[in-house]
Structure 1
Amino acid sequence: IVMQDPDVILVGEILDQETAEIAVQSALTGHLVFSTLHTNDSASAITRLVDIGVEPFLISSSILAVVAQRLIRVLCRDCKQPYTPDNATLGSIGITLDQFQGTTIYRANGCENCFHTGYKGRAGIFEIMLFDSSLKSIILKTHDSNRIKNEALNLNMVTLRQDGIQKVLGGISTIEEVVRVTHK
């Protein structure tokens, strides 16, 4: 495929060292490469690549960004109900009632349009870890996903949970749904 000189290469899924090395070498030769890995968050993708056998210096040289994504259920527009969550519910996602001032929070109810589930459709929540020199430096020193994630957070990365909270604040989904999908 690389011999045909494409601008963009899609590697369906990286499951082994051979596939990972092809993807990395393609990226290092100037191709834009997209692929998938099954991990819990964006920082864990780095650990997975190292575990597969990719050298950290190749990872830091070849990756521009890692995106983690999950689907959450969307509240049914016809039956969602406004409510004020209690402190325990808010605590389950690490926030306080003060952070919700002036915002309407909804919960699932259920009607004929959503088959009494309270939800209709799905929306994505995303965590995008952009690579800069400090993050690349951390990857060269360690492939510990917690240290990588902490550095990404220092660079203002929005986590899956934080993006989910934005969906709650926008009336798109529920606190319970965000907790279910982003379990910590």
Structure 2
Amino acid sequence: MNVNPRIELDFAKGLRHILRQDPDIIMIGEIRDRPTAEIAIQASLTGHLVLSTLHTNDAPSALTRLADMGIEPYLLASSILGIVAQRLMRQICPHCKTSYTPSAEELAELGLKKEGGKFFRGTGCEQCFHSGYKGRHGIYELMPVTSQIKSQVLRSQDGEELRKVALAQEMKSLFDQGVELVISGITTSAELLRVTRMDPERE
């Protein structure tokens, strides 16, 4: 169903009509405002699997964003199963890929200490239009809403505090996944730092 403001069919009104059909799964293009968020939460509480998107910097911030929209903490804790954040990183062009020894400063930016290893970068060629990159690779941050996360949500919806709890439960951050791709020679440290510049881990 497409929204059409000219006939007063917005996300919230469209969702109300969809819920009358009693679907098993509901996909909402994007949660943009409080009415849409409230209906999405209500749908999940009544046995529907709801999938949607939200603009945030990382997975824990999605809970903060919903709280800022006016969703009560107990509703967040009761209704959300998990959150996935994703970014796309450019891959090193395989046609002009070369190795080099990273400096101590470059390693430090990635939180690495061991020297002597090799990193890779593209020198630029006709295949990649002299950019050094060709194609893209996703990095993902998966945060299941566990009992510990729920307890934290009920205490505080601060994104940094939620992030600490999630990382303590072995959530792998976008930055950490990106570091693995740099070590594997899939992307560069410069690309990782560009894509994750808003990552709280780096502040």
With the length of structure 2 as denominator, give the TM-score of the two structures: 0.86
* Paired position in structure 2 for 1:55: 72
Hey, what's the Cα distance between the residues in 1 that align with 2:113 and 2:24? Answer: 47
Residues 138-171 of structure 1, C-alpha deviation per residue, up to 9 Å, x if partnerless? 0000001111000000000000000111111222
Q: Counterpart of 1:153?
A: 167
- Taking the TM superposition and a 5 Å limit, the aligned residue runs for 1:69-80 are 69-80=86-97
Instruction: Name the structure, 1 or 2, with higher relative contact order (CA <8 Å, separation 6+).
Output: 1
The one-character-per-residue Cα deviations of 1:38-93 (angstroms, maximum 9, x if unpaired) are: 11111111111000010011011111111111111011011111111111111112
- Residue in 2 that maps onto 1:41: 58
Written as runs of structure 1 = structure 2, the 5 A alignment for 1:117-156 is: 117-156=131-170
CA RMSD of aligned residues (A): 1.2
Task: State the alpha-carbon separation in 2 of the partners of residues 182 and 97 from structure 1.
Answer: 22
Cα distance in 1 between the residues matched to 2:123 and 2:91:
12
CA distance, structure 2, for counterparts of residue 75 and residue 7 of structure 1: 42
Deviations along 1:100-150, one digit per CA (max 9) or x if unpaired, are: 85xx42112111100100000111111111111111000000001111000
Alignment of 1:109-120 (within 5 A): 109-120=123-134
Give secondary structure in 2 for the equivalent of 1:97: coil
Moved over 3 A (4+): none
Q: 1:164 aligns with which of 153, 175, 178?
A: 178
Percent identical among aligned pairs is 50
Distance 1:108 1:46 in 2: 38
Question: One-letter code of the match for 1:164?
Answer: G
Unaligned runs of 5+ in 2: 1-17
TM-score normalised per structure 1: 0.94
Aligned-residue offset at 1:4: 1.4
* Structure with greater Cα Rg: 2
Q: When the two structures are aligned, how many residues end up with a matched partner?
A: 181
Q: Does 1:87 align with 2:116?
A: no
* Counterpart residue number, 2:48: 31
Which of 19, 34, 58 is 1:2 aligned to? 19
Q: How does 1:7-18 map to 2 (within 5 A)?
A: 7-18=24-35
Measure, in 2, the Cα distance between the counterparts of 1:11 and 1:60: 20
Q: Which amino acid aligns with 1:176?
A: A
For residues 30 and 43 of structure 1, the distance between their equivalents in structure 2, rounded to whole angstroms, comes to 24
Rounded to whole Å, the distance in 1 between the matches of 2:164 and 2:144 is: 13
